[in-house]
């Protein structure tokens, strides 16, 4: 294994950093600096970790997990919504510690096995200070070797029996959202987020605003729009997104409807190197 996230600590925080929220009895969301991870499951021997936070955060995440499920507890598996640095920051350290399998969409595997780097973040994109800082974000792939596997093609999620994965490309080629039919819970990854992630001020304050994926790393805007339509059509009752606070009920419903309708105006930047306004 190779840990491209080693020594890549970034001093970026929100007021929610370090805060955990029990969104549902078996869905816990925790904010690590500027990104959310989820613990899905209800007991120490039956839970899964979704996404692995920022670089150099493994000790913190282990503490969070042990506080919730007891000392030495470890997840049955790690599911990655996608392979960006802020979702894979601690993954190599955690796999080394626990020896558990990691699952991601097959199109993300090149970025998780050291074969391919993501395109450079777009520091010129319309948005704000976080966008301008983005060129310093790591894009080198981690290498999880034999510990990473593709999610099953039938839509099931290993060790999350009631959940299905839904392919939501655009922000990353193999991004997935996770959805549970019985209570319509959604873990969205960065398919959409609930904060204007390009703006340092809004990242700091976490003002709720249902928005498209973080702009500086999104390379295919038409696919990103289709993916928002796809998750909106699931009519989620509650959603945890990769960035921002959890959201549910009418706020989520209306926010998603509006995002689908106004995606071109709200989500797609006016300018940026991955923006083609002449499609
Ligand atoms: Zn991302
Ligand atoms: Zn993200």
* Gap from CA of 217 to ligand 2 centroid (Å): 9
Secondary structure element (H or E) that encloses residue 261, with its range: helix 249-266
* Gap from CA of 171 to ligand 2 centroid (Å): 9
Q: What is the pLDDT of residue 39?
A: 98
* Gap from CA of 156 to ligand 2 centroid (Å): 23
Which ligand neighbours the alpha carbon of 175 most closely? 1
Task: Quote the crossing angle between the two packed helices 58-69 and 91-98, to the nearest 10°.
Answer: 50
Q: What is the pLDDT of residue 277?
A: 65
* Gap from CA of 84 to ligand 2 centroid (Å): 7
Please state the φ and ψ torsions of residue 176, each to the nearest 5 degrees.
-130, 155
Which ligand neighbours the alpha carbon of 174 most closely? 1
Which ligand neighbours the alpha carbon of 53 most closely? 2
Is 51's pLDDT higher than 80?
A: yes
* Gap from CA of 176 to ligand 2 centroid (Å): 12
More confident residue, 229 or 4: 229
Is 278's pLDDT higher than 80?
A: no
* Gap from CA of 86 to ligand 1 centroid (Å): 7
* Gap from CA of 5 to ligand 2 centroid (Å): 15
Sign of the CA dihedral 244, 58, 1, 117? positive
Task: Quote the crossing angle between the two packed helices 221-232 and 249-266, to the nearest 10°.
Answer: 160
Following DSSP, what letter does each residue of 27-83 receive, concatenated? Answer: EEEEEETTEEEEEEEEETTEEEEE---STT-HHHHHHHHHHHH-TT---SEEE-S--
* Gap from CA of 71 to ligand 1 centroid (Å): 31
CA distances from 66 to 80, 96, 99 (A): 20, 17, 17
* Gap from CA of 90 to ligand 1 centroid (Å): 15
Query: Distance between CA 115 and CA 92 in Å, rounded?
Result: 16
- CA 141 to chain CA centroid, Å, is 16
Which ligand neighbours the alpha carbon of 241 most closely? 2
Q: What is the pLDDT of residue 236?
A: 98
Span 84-105, mean pLDDT?
Answer: 98
Query: Distance between CA 153 and CA 36 in Å, rounded?
Result: 26
Which are the contacts of 217, defined by CB distance < 8 A and separation ≥ 6?
Answer: 84, 118, 121, 122, 134, 137, 171, 172, 190
* Gap from CA of 130 to ligand 1 centroid (Å): 13
What would the pLDDT profile of 194-250 be if each residue is shown by its tens digit? 988 888 888 888 889 999 999 999 999 999 999 999 999 999 999 999 999 999 999
Which ligand neighbours the alpha carbon of 36 most closely? 2
Measured at the CA of 54, the angle between CA 58 and CA 136, to 5 degrees, comes to: 140
Which ligand neighbours the alpha carbon of 216 most closely? 1
Is 279's pLDDT higher than 60?
A: no
CB atoms within 10 A of CB 257: 12
* Residues, CB within 5 angstroms of ligand 1 (ion): 84, 190
Provide the mean pLDDT of the chain. Answer: 94
Which ligand neighbours the alpha carbon of 54 most closely? 2
Query: Distance between CA 193 and CA 33 in Å, rounded?
Result: 15
What would the pLDDT profile of 130-180 be if each residue is shown by its tens digit? 888 899 899 899 999 999 999 999 999 999 999 999 999 999 999 999 999
Span 188-198, mean pLDDT?
Answer: 93
Which ligand neighbours the alpha carbon of 33 most closely? 2
Euclidean distance between the first and the last CA atom of the chain, given in angstroms as a whole number: 41
Query: Are the beta carbons of 60 and 67 closer than 8 angstroms?
Result: no
């Amino acid at each position: 294994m190779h840990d491209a996230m080693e020594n890549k600590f970034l001093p970026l925080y929100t007021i929610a950093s370090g805060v955990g929220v029990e969104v549902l009895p078996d869905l816990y969301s925790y904010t690590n600096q500027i990104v959310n991870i989820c613990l899905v499951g209800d007991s120490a021997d039956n839970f899964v970790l979704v996404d692995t936070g920022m670089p150099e955060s493994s000790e913190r995440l282990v503490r969070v997990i042990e506080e919730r499920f007891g000392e030495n507890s470890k997840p049955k598996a790690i599911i990655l919504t996608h392979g960006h640095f802020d979702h894979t920051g601690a993954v190599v350290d955690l796999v080394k510690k626990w020896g558990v399998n990691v699952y991601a969409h097959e199109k993300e595997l090149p970025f998780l096995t050291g074969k391919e780097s993501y395109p450079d973040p777009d520091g010129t994109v319309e948005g704000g200070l976080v966008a301008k800082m983005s060129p310093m974000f790591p894009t080198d792939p981690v290498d999880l070797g034999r510990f990473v596997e593709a999610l099953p093609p039938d839509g099931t999620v290993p060790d999350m029996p009631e959940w299905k994965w839904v392919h939501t490309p655009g922000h990353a080629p193999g991004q997935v959202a996770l959805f549970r039919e019985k209570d319509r819970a959604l873990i969205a990854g960065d398919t959409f987020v609930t904060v204007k992630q390009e703006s340092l001020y809004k990242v700091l304050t976490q003002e709720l605003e249902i928005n498209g994926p973080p702009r500086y790393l999104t390379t295919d805007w038409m696919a990103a729009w289709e993916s928002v339509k796809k998750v909106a059509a699931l009519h989620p009752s509650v959603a945890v997104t990769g960035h921002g606070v959890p959201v549910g009920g009418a706020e989520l419903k209306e926010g998603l409807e509006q995002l689908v309708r106004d995606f071109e105006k709200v989500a797609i930047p006016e300018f940026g190197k991955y923006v083609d306004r002449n499609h």
